[in-house]
Chain A
């Protein structure tokens, strides 16, 4: 989902814009290692393909429709760094020419969809895409891609003070799950068809990778995103839940982590504090993603 301008709080869009610059720069450098400047047209044309494919609407629910986001498909056929560059290009055109997504919010959208979205898709594929569980790896990757970017977007909105009462949140998450499943299904079907049409498009990563640690990392990332989401909206809800479950006593030390009650000392006033803590949480997620990504690629070359 493309966040327009006017929704995100200043520390959020500014912080994410600042974070997006080195992230995109890194992706560009990595993509160029695999693709010299000669290959820019290929990436551009594949971006146009995804764009065209995105215009096909698949109804998801009452009044909402989903479409192929394409991050996973691109990651599986072009590799994740090139996929990130292509998605960034897509988002830029969408913001500039189609008013889909804001300009100041571009950093957030890029990090959500072109970085996290792409790499979240790539990890399961990298780990399980070579073996018997390939279909599931593709499906899970694509699902994760949409889910992670959508949850992050919601998290950023919530942290910026956009009101999302519980029922609306639940409905949104359900819709995201449906879109994510749709993305998974479409991606699998297209990849299978591609294998018949043009087999050399499809990567086959080496089978038999150790997946326990990475599965944990992916789950942690998702839980962190969801956790920030819920904690930001319903700290009281969480506390009362804890009380009802009888762990209220134990809940105290759990909550007094470095970001205890989302307080950071050097900000006065409640709103900047919350937002800053939210940002810190988000950056933590990105850092975890980056570390896992580097770990995976290092173990790939091993």
Chain B
């Protein structure tokens, strides 16, 4: 599954993995903003930006092909709009949609592939994002695949009894059965949440989650920040100078 691959990538040990998540997030955001605000020289700059991302991925020892392929997940959505733009006589806009969405996805992948989600959330918490929200995200992520697996089991069980859970069905009975299955999944999830609550209480939970990991912002992080944050803009300016 997608998640598992990304999980695995994110637990690597390269220098990029070890950087403070806040620094990496800042670098990502500036990259995204610079790309988003670029209109002229887009194609040339994009080649340079893509090279920059590939460099980062290589430094992080991420599989290049994998990253580039996963980023392409955004393209189908863009294709429709791009096709419409092209047909309406604006091929530049069509290209822009595809290029920008692809580059952004690739950049996010580099962050996600070098930062485990809990660390990323930790960085967000120390940047002022409300803890309650982050805890919800943390638990969502933790149980995402547990519950998806349960859903898969239910689908398989239903299919082996002749139902097709995945079709838009004319028969009310089958529709109801699918709704019933979702209700059961809901109830199971709720029951699991209560189990978790009991497990938390059993280990002395008093109402506040205490963070364990502390990232110290070290010199290497400062250097990274100074290089990675301005880089997309510098690249853009260089491209503008080089390409008439």
A binding-site residues for B, Cβ under 8 Å: 2, 4-7, 10, 13, 24-25, 28, 31-32, 36-38, 40-49, 51-53, 55-60, 68, 73, 77, 85-86, 88-90, 92-93, 95-100, 102-104, 157, 161-165, 168, 182, 185-186, 188-190, 192-194, 196-198, 201
Q: Is the CB of B104 within 8 A of A103?
A: yes
Interface string of B218-243 (1 = CB under 8 A from A): 00000000000000000000000000
A137 to chain B, nearest CB (A): 17
Quick one: which of B186-223 are within 8 Å of A by CB?
Answer: 186-187, 189-190, 192-194, 196-197, 200, 205, 207-209
Whose C-beta in chain B lies nearest to the C-beta of A96?
A: B112
B52 to chain A, nearest CB (A): 17
Contact A96:B117 (CB < 8 A) given known A7-B81, A59-B167, A163-B85? yes
Instruction: Give the docked Cα–Cα distance between A4 and B101 (Å).
Output: 6
Whose C-beta in chain B lies nearest to the C-beta of A92?
A: B137
Interface residue B77 (Cβ < 8 Å from any Cβ of A): yes
Whose C-beta in chain B lies nearest to the C-beta of A196?
A: B183
Total A-B residue pairs with C-beta atoms closer than 8 Å?
A: 244
User: Which one, A25, A68, A162, A182, contacts B130 given CB within 8 A?
Assistant: A25
Instruction: Give the docked Cα–Cα distance between A222 and B189 (Å).
Output: 34
A to B CB contacts below 8 Å, 23 in the list: A5-B105, A6-B98, A6-B99, A7-B78, A13-B36, A28-B130, A37-B131, A38-B207, A40-B132, A46-B190, A47-B136, A48-B144, A49-B186, A51-B147, A52-B148, A53-B151, A86-B136, A89-B133, A104-B33, A163-B85, A185-B175, A189-B179, A201-B187
Interface residue B176 (Cβ < 8 Å from any Cβ of A): yes
Contact A44:B137 (CB < 8 A) given known A6-B35, A59-B167? yes
B34 to chain A, nearest CB (A): 11
The SS class assigned to the B binding surface is helix
Interface residue B100 (Cβ < 8 Å from any Cβ of A): yes
User: Which one, A41, A53, A188, contacts B197 given CB within 8 A?
Assistant: A41
User: Which one, B109, B141, B142, B165, contacts A99 given CB within 8 A?
Assistant: B109
B30 to chain A, nearest CB (A): 11
Instruction: Give the docked Cα–Cα distance between A299 and B64 (Å).
Output: 57
Instruction: Give the docked Cα–Cα distance between A12 and B120 (Å).
Output: 26
B binding-site residues for A, Cβ under 8 Å: 2-3, 6, 28-29, 32-33, 35-37, 70-71, 73-74, 77-78, 81, 84-85, 88, 90, 93, 96-105, 108-109, 111-112, 117, 120, 130-133, 135-144, 146-148, 150-151, 155, 165-168, 175-176, 178-180, 182-187, 189-190, 192-194, 196-197, 200, 205, 207-209
Q: Is the CB of B179 within 8 A of A88?
A: no
B23 to chain A, nearest CB (A): 16
Q: Is the CB of B140 within 8 A of A93?
A: yes
A141 to chain B, nearest CB (A): 16
Q: Is the CB of A58 within 8 A of B73?
A: no
Contact A38:B130 (CB < 8 A) given known A49-B147, A198-B187? no
Whose C-beta in chain A lies nearest to the C-beta of B7?
A: A97
Q: Is the CB of B96 within 8 A of A45?
A: no
Whose C-beta in chain A lies nearest to the C-beta of B106?
A: A99
Q: Is the CB of A43 within 8 A of B147?
A: no
B36 to chain A, nearest CB (A): 6
The 5 closest A-B pairs by CB, nearest first: A44-B139, A6-B100, A189-B179, A193-B183, A5-B104
Q: Is the CB of A56 within 8 A of B165?
A: yes
Q: Is the CB of A10 within 8 A of B207?
A: no
